Amino acid sequence: MWLARRCALALPIALLLLGWIGFAGARPGGGSHYSGGSHSSSSSSSGSHSFGSSGGGGGGSVDLPPWAVVGFLGLVVLIFVLSAVFKKRAPRAAVAVDAVAQHAGIAALQGHDPTFDAAKFAERTRAIMTRVNEAWLKGDMGPARPLITDGVYVRFQTYLALLKSAGLRNVMVDWRVVGAELVAAESDQSWDTVHMKIAGEARDRDVPANLSAEEAQAKAKGAPLEPYEEVWSFLRRRGKHSRDGVPALEEKCPACGAQLPASEVVRCDHCRALVNSGEHDWVLAEITQPEEFDANSEGGSQQLLESVRAHDPTVSRQELEDRGSVIFWKWIEAQATGERKRLDRFCLQAGRPAVEPARLSEVAVGSCEAEDAPAIADGFDRVFVQLRWSARVDGAAPVNMLHRLTLARSSQAVSKRGLASLDCPNCGGSLAASDDLKCRYCGEALTGGKHEWSLESILQTG
Ligand SMILES: [Zn+2]
Ligand SMILES: [Zn+2]
């Protein structure tokens, strides 16, 4: 999100080159349908164009013998065939590791966390990849929730629900974590961020949901074994120090070490810590496709949110973008299911903004960017979150859209929970699976923006 935001300049250029293909995908992380293959088809079509203009007969300025025309035609056919094969088998884009950025990132982190160890972090990333893949394949991200932010969790869960509503599920076989390596790291006044290049391979297919496990596996076995790379970005509250082990992988609280309840509960019963907020340990906060990642782009702007920061010094772009992501995916789900109750608890006012039902598939986010919004003296702070995304609508070719979410929050509220969106902001009650407008434990209203950034309006801007 914030990461893709920094790639916002590179993105339009890349999209022009790529013919703006979707960000869609079924594999966890959403990358398996993302492809740069259009490069090869565009070069072959320009080849055929030059043939047409020189050998097109009639007013042609060059006379060619028949054998040359036939030979040339044969060559064009060959180019088309080769380019089709190449397009199909084009390897996924790779993430370039820049040693300067890598060392600068590690040094910046070690400056305030001397025990940070890049090799140990790579091991940890591999273990988390495995946990995320296993949860995805079971169709329930609950067991991975302590390790991922609410924004990432809602994205996965919504994607699984969309597949299900289309009568599909994603099956992945022969998958393997190939490696993980730190590509960049950064710190701002609120958060430490580590960007990890991850490499994996898998055969994956979307299959009808009613297939038996054996039939589904057989279908996936027929898919090519495809390597892939992505950038997984982890966040942790600045000021925390690295320790050995990953408590959340062992169902333990990263704050006090107590045993956590199984499943998707992320609140420690013992110390009340919110396990996946980034306040206590690293959490997976974003997954970026290689085509969009740029390790050398500039860091986050501290100028952002100045008007909000005047009375809430802890507000951060990262929390807004995670919140924006949760709300975006709830909005997608509301359109796809025709049930806006999924969205209402995240709105400033239940029932607003209006949501039109839409048949959406292969929904994927390209970037998510928090921006300042003009101040209005009505007791609320406002920010914009810009979302660049793509989807198939009614099964048509993927289209690209830009939407601006206006989020509002009471000017009395402060950011105190790290990255957290789904559970009650008042009592901490577990509400991840709830559509209720009031907390079922303490009765606090979840709409209204009293505690949390809430959706006021959505505007399509592109
Ligand atoms: Zn605890
Ligand atoms: Zn509550």
Q: Give the ligand with the smallest distance to the CA of 272.
A: 1
> What ligand has the least distance to the C-alpha of 146?
1
Q: Could you tell me the distance, in angstroms and rounded to a whole number, from the CA of residue 432 to the centre of ligand 1?
A: 19
CA of 202 to the centre of ligand 1 (A): 36
The model's pTM: 0.79
Statement: residue 196 has pLDDT above 60: yes
CA of 150 to the centre of ligand 1 (A): 18
Max mean pLDDT among 50-59, 269-278, 425-434, 449-458 falls in 449-458
Query: What pLDDT score was predicted for residue 72?
Result: 62
For range 299-319, the mean pLDDT? 76
pLDDT top residue among 82 and 60: 82
Q: Which residue has the higher pLDDT, 25 or 437?
A: 437
Contact 408, 456 (CB under 8 A): yes
Ligand nearest to the CA of 248: 1
Instruction: Give me Rg for the CA atoms of the chain.
Output: 24
Q: What's residue 36's pLDDT?
A: 34
Best CA proximity match to 217, nearest among 204, 229, 199, 201: 204
Q: Which ligand is nearest to the CA of 423?
A: 2
Q: What does the mean pLDDT of the chain come to?
A: 80
pLDDT at residue 69 in the model: 61
Confidence of residue 74 (pLDDT cuts 50, 70, 90): low
- Distance between CA atoms of residues 371 and 452, nearest Å: 17
pLDDT tens-digit series, residues 371-427:
899 888 899 999 999 998 989 999 899 999 999 999 999 999 988 778 988 989 888
Contact, 165 vs 336, CB < 8 A? yes
CB 197 within 8 A of CB 183: yes
pLDDT at residue 31 tops 70: no
More confidently predicted of 139 and 11: 139
Q: How confident is the model at residue 307 (pLDDT cuts 50, 70, 90)?
A: confident
Alpha carbon distance 309, 187 (integer Å):
18
Q: What is the pLDDT of residue 365?
A: 82
Strands 226-237 and 283-288: antiparallel
**Residue 348 CA to ligand 2 centre (angstroms):** 17
Distance 253 CA to ligand 1 centre (A): 5
Are the C-beta atoms of residues 286 and 318 closer than 8 Å to each other?
no
Of residues 143 and 306, which shows the higher confidence score?
Answer: 143
The CA 238 to ligand 2 mean position distance, Å, reads 28
Residue 196 Cα to ligand 2 midpoint, Å, equals 36
Burial zone of 279 (CB within 10 Å; 0-12 exposed, 13-18 middle, 19+ buried): buried
Q: Is the pLDDT of residue 361 over 50?
A: yes
How far away, in angstroms, is 417 Cα from ligand 2 center?
14
- pLDDT given for residue 445 in this prediction: 93
Question: Looking at residues 306-327, what average pLDDT do you find?
Answer: 88
Rounded Cα gap, residues 264 and 246, in angstroms: 17
For ligand 1, the distance from its centroid to the CA atom of residue 147, given in whole angstroms, is: 15
Ligand nearest to the CA of 281: 1
The Å distance, Cα 286 to ligand 1 centre, comes to 25
Q: Which of the ligands is closest to the CA of residue 446?
A: 2
- 418 and 278 in contact (C-beta within 8 Å)? yes
Split at pLDDT 50, 70, 90, the class of 271 is: very high
How far is 280 from 220, CA to CA, in rounded Å?
39
C-alpha of residue 425 to centroid of ligand 2, in Å: 7
CA neighbor of 197 nearest in space, from 95, 48, 74: 95
